[in-house]
Structure 1
């Protein structure tokens, strides 16, 4: 049955047009000939009615038709989908060795560890990934394609080369309530590499400026490393940067190319002089204790000899006094005993020939060869002493 023949259709088409209007061509402005411009209030009212009833969209819209707003169910579905996508945008992943620094409206609110995490999407929260375990390095001097010239305390110029290794501090020593070092690194300093490089160069200039040219050239590594590391760490701590200096590697210090030969001759001469002084000092340190020990030993020997001689003299004096007392009590007996003891001591080790003066006119015979042989044997047995 045609639409116009249905009861209540008013002989109009399904879209409210008069009979025969459906095939009329449009006039180029979205309306058919004889059709007036749509009323804005009518369009809004029609849209609200369609939205309330959940209808509309039964056919594709045509030009000149009233504007159709989405149905309530479709709108809710689209809003839910957008909400899910918005919340899903807060999912992020932290790699091993990193920490996520979370801020809410620009204020630090916590750290997140490795793995999948979620934060409230922009504009509520923001996350910055920070590598807390990796080592970083900056180079000063020729390693960066140029040269860094510095002035020593004796107003000489040296070209230096140094590398600094650093990392983010461990939070084990962080006081309760203090900002974590990863957050300090992420937000307290804008350019960590530039800060470390500038602070390291300033610390190196301070150390080099406090030393003379010779020691810097000859013993620069031992002089610079420790002093520069201490000053650099103090500077970074003053900025509350959360950076820990691991090591400072001082490469070399050389004079400028224009005066290198002459200054190296001076340095070599000073080094030779210092070496000779050190050798002489070492020899003196070795010989002086030996000489002092020998002198002490000589003194001790002299003291021992003096004590022995004094003791012997006192013993001889005491023995003489005892002999005198005995002699005073019996002079003849004492004299005879002393004579016999003396003769025994004198003649004890000698060859002796006793001749009796009362033997008459008999000529005594002395075997000199036998006496000489006995004397040689006696000397050999006694070591040649009488």
Structure 2
């Protein structure tokens, strides 16, 4: 009962002694109508096992044929609500999951005694006449997704860097502000001290300020001594 079996929908694997295995298409099973009214050529592999031997042997005549028919019903139901672009690209995992769920409900309703282990879409193609054009669309969609991911990655790298630069600028501005405040406070304290001295001795303070100013000015001027 634990043995994993397989069913092929839309194709059959043909094995001839001494030759590599090959796939033969079964168009009656494979061709399906999508939700946007396109024809899709779909090949599915179903892996399953027997979970209830009594139901498998006695409840349904030909349970494995019932599995194949139920898979077609489930897949056509899901594909009929899905666009061909989604079925061929990003929507494929959802198609697989929804079809497996639908299929298992049908098998349980029929009391087949079967449990689906995995359902895999091997091929989802448009008809041969328009296959190349559809694959061009698929490649364009894949390129679009790739470019979006690259842009998102660039943004994810750029934003933290920009935040870091902004934080650095903010810290520099805060340091500059603090320096200016401290300098202003120092200049204010110096002025108040001079004012206090001036109030005590105006003439002496004026003379000292005058001499200090002259000293600062002359310190930056090239001086020449002329012999009279």
Shorter-chain TM-score tier? 0.7 to 0.9
Residue from 101, 108, 121 that aligns with 1:250: 121
Task: Indicate the structure (1 or 2) with the bigger Cα radius of gyration.
Answer: 1
1:324 deviates by 0.7
Q: Whole-Å Cα distance in 1 between the matches of residues 35 and 103 of structure 2? A: 20
Among 81, 87, 90, the residue aligned to 1:210 = 81
Instruction: Give the count of matched residue pairs.
Output: 215
Aligned counterparts, 1:373-384, within 5 A:
none
Q: Distance in 1 between matches of 2:56 and 2:187?
A: 96
In the aligned structure 2, how far is the partner of 1:306 from the partner of 1:206? 70
Change in Cα spacing, 1:205 to 1:285, as seen in structure 2 (3 Å) is: farther
Query: Over aligned residue pairs, what C-alpha RMSD do you find?
Result: 3.5
Aligned with 1:154: secondary structure? coil
- The change in CA–CA distance for 1:235 and 1:311 in structure 2 (over 3 A counts) is farther
Cα drift, residue 295 of structure 1: 4.0
Structure number with higher helix proportion? 2
Residues 204-260 of structure 1, C-alpha deviation per residue, up to 9 Å, x if partnerless?
223323322123223465343333223322333334443222112221111111222
SS in structure 1 of the partner of residue 36 of structure 2: coil
TM-superposed CA distance for 1:166, in Å, is 0.9
Query: Secondary structure at the residue paired with 2:120?
Result: strand
1:315 to 1:195, Cα distance in 2 relative to 1, 3 A: farther
Shift of 1:285: 4.4
Partners of 1:143 and 1:245 lie apart in 2 by 19
Q: Which runs of 5+ in 1 are unaligned?
A: 1-131, 170-180, 356-362, 365-386
Q: CA deviation at 1:297?
A: 3.9
Q: Are the equivalent residues in 2 in contact too, given 1:165–1:246 (CA < 8 A)?
A: yes
Measure, in 2, the Cα distance between the counterparts of 1:341 and 1:221. Answer: 87
Which residue in the other structure is 2:34 paired with? Answer: 152
1:141 pairs with 10, 13, 30, which one? Answer: 10
Determine whether 1:234 maps to 2:116: no
Unaligned residue ranges in structure 2 (runs of 5+): 14-23
TM-score (norm 1): 0.47
Question: How far apart in 2 are the matches of 1:296 and 1:238?
Answer: 64
Higher RCO structure (Cα 8 Å, ≥6 apart)? 2
**What is the distance in 2 between the residues matched to 1:143 and 1:219?**
26
Mapping of residues 184-195 of structure 1, within 5 Å: 184-195=55-66
Distance 1:337 1:238 in 2: 110
For 2:132 and 2:216, locate their aligned partners in 1 and report how far apart those are by CA, in whole Å: 89
State the Cα deviation string for residues 32-52 of structure 1 (Å, max 9, x = none): xxxxxxxxxxxxxxxxxxxxx
Counterpart CA distance in 1 for 2:175 and 2:100 is: 61
Q: Distance in 2 between matches of 1:334 and 1:235?
A: 107
| 8 Å contact kept, 1:150–1:208 | yes
1:293-372 mapped onto 2 (5 Å cutoff): 293-335=164-206, 337-338=208-209
Supply the distance in 2 between the matched residues of 1:309 and 1:151 (Cα, whole angstroms): 76
For the 8 Å contact 2:86–2:92, the answer to whether it is kept is no
How does the TM-score come out when normalised to structure 2?
0.73
